[in-house]
Structure 1
């Protein structure tokens, strides 16, 4: 009997789980009763251990931490293999890890440090996460949930976001194609598309534009807040609430979609 069968709990993997949307999603899914496999870079080990310990104490679920890089295929395979070995199965993969690099198109260099790094993490990281989770879900039978991290920048372009926007449009393409590939197995594939969410990633973007334009820090964030219908930035928990829905039985007939969570900044 597998660990999942003995506990009756589903298992979710979350990449980039040490902070921001990944951390909020881990807390929310633990509250929903999921056992968790959490993944982040080795340098985030101290923070991820705190996240895991807090979740265990507050929610009484099992948590396994794994460290590596989503842009490295062998690390993602090891992640899935380790979680299955420790927790028995995988029902949901939340491919949350991602980075943002801001430059005008002609200033973005095709180097490992910029273009290659961004595309490797945002696009290949999603691809690898879906690939190895899907293989395990198909092996198990019983369906599953694949969830990716798109963005408002995957719905429309923004100045100095050419490659970042391209990477998030790519995530939407992966989601749509994977939905068709895995529908016959009862696996749904969707993505959340945040607008400006109060995370370290957004603060980094804000600092970039503040330094470039000579504006006070917070100006870029305030622009997004004031231009949204709800007049506020998203909080990581706002995104986690959507992920909770995507992986629930209530979303069993929703697949291939990328849902905006932007307070009314961009309308499909």
Structure 2
């Protein structure tokens, strides 16, 4: 059962399903009020997640539809969430797309750009406006946590950790690799991962969304106050460890 007094306010992007939903549910169970984001077309899905959280924990939720690749939408998402729930303490830049799994020589520029637009540009905007709002909120122990689905996010997280330390904000990234979700299931079922990465999946296990949520739960907690600039690669499920 969640604590009666909320621990703070967390905003989770990409929360309509999969990893984002699991993170939102876990942070609510930890005692956070949670703002949930996803693209406007999925509003009914993440509104249903918000209702589920309210029914289970009753600490307060807010639904903030936005395309994380659009700057003004991210700004409005962050500011409206903070206003509705009483500030911002934890920004979880989880939103991302799977993209296509193709060799470099076969991938089109449009396919490459689409992934970077959401997974890298979107993360930067969430970091920027999340940090500004956490500083404005003025509570100690701010957290920025990002899904490091692109190597560029790890560099962004490390740089942001250096810059934001003076404000008492830790910045960390988690690299989930392939997790069993509705978005990744067609890719897993196709067998392309075994072709590209012969050792996939390591230890014969594909991770579940709750495995990632547990990492984010720790990084959002007070216990993680001395960890920043940390790219957490989950060994059992990271593609980078699938080569033999």
**TM-score normalised to structure 1 length:** 0.81
Between 220-229 and 115-124, report the one with greater CA deviation: 220-229
Number of the residue aligned with 2:53 = 55
Structure 2, unaligned stretches of length 5 or more?
none
Write the deviation string for residues 84-116 of structure 1: whole angstroms up to 9, x where unpaired.
1101100000000001222332332223xx232
Shift of 1:194: 1.1
Q: Residues of 2 paired with 1:177 and 1:194: CA distance? A: 20
Secondary structure at 1:118 match in 2:
helix
User: Per the alignment, do residues 81 and 115 of structure 1 end up closer, same or farther by CA in structure 2, a change over 3 Å counting?
Assistant: same
Number of the residue aligned with 1:237 = 210
Q: Which 4+ runs in 1 deviate beyond 4 A?
A: 220-229
Between 102-111 and 234-243, report the one with greater CA deviation: 102-111
User: Per the alignment, do residues 116 and 123 of structure 1 end up closer, same or farther by CA in structure 2, a change over 3 Å counting?
Assistant: same
Number of the residue aligned with 1:173 = 155
Q: Residues of 2 paired with 1:8 and 1:43: CA distance? A: 30
Aligned counterpart in structure 1 of residue 120 of structure 2, from 101, 107, 123: 123
Number of the residue aligned with 1:104 = 103
Shift of 1:250: 0.7
Secondary structure at 2:143 match in 1:
strand
Between 189-198 and 67-76, report the one with greater CA deviation: 189-198
Secondary structure at 1:67 match in 2:
coil
Q: Residues of 2 paired with 1:196 and 1:229: CA distance? A: 11
Write the deviation string for residues 34-73 of structure 1: whole angstroms up to 9, x where unpaired.
0011000111112111111111001112110011100000
Structure 1, unaligned stretches of length 5 or more?
1-6, 152-167, 207-216
Shift of 1:133: 0.8
Report the number of matched residues: 234
Q: Residues of 1 paired with 2:103 and 2:194: CA distance? A: 21
Write the deviation string for residues 206-231 of structure 1: whole angstroms up to 9, x where unpaired.
3xxxxxxxxxx353567889745542
Q: Residues of 2 paired with 1:233 and 1:263: CA distance? A: 8
Number of the residue aligned with 2:231 = 258
- Give the number of the structure whose alpha-carbon radius of gyration is greater: 1
Secondary structure at 1:22 match in 2:
helix
Shift of 1:204: 3.6
**TM-score normalised to structure 2 length:** 0.88
CA RMSD, 1 decimal: 2.2
Number of the residue aligned with 2:174 = 192
User: Per the alignment, do residues 143 and 225 of structure 1 end up closer, same or farther by CA in structure 2, a change over 3 Å counting?
Assistant: farther
